[in-house]
Amino acid sequence: MGNFKCFPMGYLVSAYEPILFKNVNCLIKQAKESSRGPKCFHFIFDLKDIPYVMENIMAFDASMDPDHKLPLQVLTMTTKMHIKNELARYLRMSDGKDPKRDAFSLDERLACLKGVLEDLRGMQDLINEAVKGVHGRKPCLEHQNYLYAYSNRMGLLGAEALRVQNLYLAWANNRASGVIPHSVDEYSISQTWEYCNIW
């Protein structure tokens, strides 16, 4: 099961500035003021909190192209690589007691990815309703366009999560059928990486 339940009141649509916009702008400001600069700023990627992950992805997006000079295709590819790298880093976090082992088992990784996809579906449904003004106030054109961009970035995260989930499932099936030896430790960073060939 995913962790997402609902957005707080005023998060997507507001008479003034939605909370989503304020939160993303705050992250952009932090990135600009960082001593390492926006391109080296550590954007948070905690898959237990997908709305916060999405705020960080939107802030990353804006920080990579503050003057809107990059072609859309280049910016999209940059963001896709960011998502891919951060997703890989999260799923392959080291065990605190044994740095040579992953923190998550294969089942835990699959459960995490399933939760991410469920959260994204729930969020997308609410965004669609917000854009249509289903529950009251309809966002202005500027805010609608921002929510469309937000949905696009959600799609990038969802596509990467689904890709990795399918590769892990193939890995599990191959291990169950004996194609991958049972001696291979699913917690091992190097062995899982070698046999699954995910990254």
Position 192 scores a pLDDT of 54
**Does residue 46 contact residue 57 with C-beta atoms inside 8 Å?**
no
Average pLDDT (123-131) is 94
Q: Write down the mean pLDDT value for the chain.
A: 86
pLDDT tens figures, 160-180: 999 999 988 887 887 778 777
Q: How many CB atoms lie within 10 A of CB 4?
A: 18
pLDDT band at 53 (very low <50, low <70, confident <90, very high): very high
Bigger pLDDT: 1 vs 117: 117
Give residue 183's pLDDT: 65
123 or 174, higher pLDDT? 123
What is the token pair recorded at 53? 């992950």
**What is the token pair recorded at 182?**
């049972």
Q: Which pLDDT score is estimated for 122?
A: 95
3-state SS of 4-73 is: CCCCCCCCCCCCCCCHHHHHHHHHHHHHHHCCCCHHHCCCCCCCCCHHHHHHHHHHHHHHHCCCCCCCHH
Q: Contact at 8 Å (CB) between 130 and 122? A: no
Task: Place 81 in a pLDDT band, splitting at 50, 70 and 90.
Answer: very high
Residue 45: left (phi > 0), alpha (psi -120 to 50), or beta? beta
DSSP-derived 3-state class of residue 196? helix
Share of the chain above pLDDT 90, in %: 54
Alpha-carbon distances, residue 91 vs 1, 8, 162, 197 (angstroms): 17, 28, 13, 14
Radius of gyration of the chain from its Cα atoms, rounded to whole angstroms = 19
pLDDT in tens, 4-48: 989 999 999 988 899 999 999 999 999 888 877 777 788 889 999
pLDDT digits (tens, 9 = 90+) for 84-116: 999 988 988 877 777 767 778 888 999 999 999
pTM reported for the whole predicted model: 0.87
